[in-house]
Amino acid sequence: MAQIELSSAVKRYGSVDVIHGIDVDIKDGEFAVLVGPSGCGKSTLLRMIAGLETVSDGEIRIADRVVNDLRPKERGIAMVFQNYALYPHMTVRENMGLSLRLSKVAPDTIRSKVDDAAAILGLEALLDRYPRQLSGGQRQRVAMGRAIVRDPAVFLFDEPLSNLDAKLRVKMRTEIKALHQRLKTTIVYVTHDQIEAMTMADKIIVLEGGHVSQVGTPLDLYDNPRNRFVATFIGSPSMNILPATTGENGTLVLKDGARLSIGHRLPAGQQVDFGIRPEHLSLTDTTDNALSVQVVVTEPTGAETYAVTELEGTEVVAVLRDRVDLASGSRVHFAVDTAHCHLFDPTTGNAIDRDPGLH
């Protein structure tokens, strides 16, 4: 079992807390992704799990064992770094087997483990090459192979794909996810890229300013964000947020005076932030229950068109399924799929229940 439990985990540098009493439970065999903007504490938290950073307060358990005072090599973990950390004077085989040689493992066992890992990762033909003779994706696979041969209880990945080009990142995402499904080992993966998080994770842990903002499955976070930060961070393009006031009979009044009927049960006159994802807007010829916006630019992607528009100084992006060319400066109307809209408190950023009277 390789369950990871963080209980009130704190990291403090001097008098400054950068990790604020985090509680997280990662189940055995789960692929958990720590995601958030730069400086949110995700890499620091990963390094605390690895033992590369000390825990100022609280407790970290791996496989039901408190590891606060254990050295990294005693924790049953293997870490894959952003920069691969391969020795240039060693072959692929030597790099992959290094940790086993340092642990005095028998040469025949090392060869067997390296061969097995190479077969999993498609590296058999590259074992006698040096890192300088490999592509970026191949080097990353070697770094993963070096971790696999150790047969760890937990794999830790620290932004492993950030140095790769866009096409190779997509390919490596698939390879890492397939590797997890094959090995069924616990993985904790750090990224700032929410697309990586959405496509790879069983569980996403969203961090903001050293706090956990929300934990859940990718689609749960996408469909049911607990606050405005998660709503705008998860999803690309991000959720549109428009200031509004609640009106009578379940309506919202926008800054331009337009009314949307979304069926809320809130008292009239309440200030709210109205959220709608770009794919839940569509072009319409009517102004009824629609956003009236001015086109800034259209961005064709082939299968879809991104329409970047503006409503009273606030950007509104729509993802349109048709190939359309909207003239810059023209005015268009977007119908709103009211079944998928969200309301947030403008002060706290927390989600507001649209139907408080039903609970």
Q: Assess whether pLDDT exceeds 90 at residue 48.
A: yes
Q: Assess whether pLDDT exceeds 60 at residue 177.
A: yes
Q: Assess whether pLDDT exceeds 60 at residue 149.
A: yes
Strand partners, 31: 187
Give residues with Cβ within 8 angstroms of 223, minimum separation 6: none
CA 51, chain centre distance (Å)? 23
Q: Are 324 and 332 in contact (CB under 8 A)?
A: no
**pLDDT at residue 1, rounded to an integer:** 60
Identical fold, 4-232 and 240-358: no
Class of domain 4-232: alpha beta
Per-residue pLDDT of 291-320, as tens digits, reads: 999 999 999 999 899 999 999 999 999 999
In 14-129 the beta strands, taken as DSSP E runs, fall at 16-26, 31-35, 57-62, 65-66, 77-80
Fold held by 240-358: OB fold (Dihydrolipoamide Acetyltransferase, E2P) (2.40.50)
**Could you give the C-alpha distances from 10 to 21, 54, 56, 57, in angstroms and in order?**
5, 9, 5, 5
Domain boundaries defined on the chain: 4-232, 240-358
- Between vectors from CA 146 to CA 143 and to CA 150, what angle results, nearest 5°? 145
**pLDDT at residue 300, rounded to an integer:** 93
At residue 89, φ and ψ (nearest 5 deg) are -90, 0
Comparing 228 with 175, the larger pLDDT belongs to 228
Q: Please tell me the pTM assigned to this model.
A: 0.91
Q: What is the mean pLDDT of residues 340-353?
A: 96
**pLDDT at residue 325, rounded to an integer:** 87
**Could you give the C-alpha distances from 13 to 16, 34, 182, 256, 344, in angstroms and in order?**
5, 21, 39, 48, 34
Per-residue pLDDT of 96-128, as tens digits, reads: 999 999 989 999 999 999 999 999 998 999 999
**pLDDT at residue 357, rounded to an integer:** 59
Please report, rounded to a whole number, the percentage of residues in the chain having pLDDT higher than 70: 99
**pLDDT at residue 359, rounded to an integer:** 45
Q: What is the mean pLDDT of residues 230-241?
A: 95
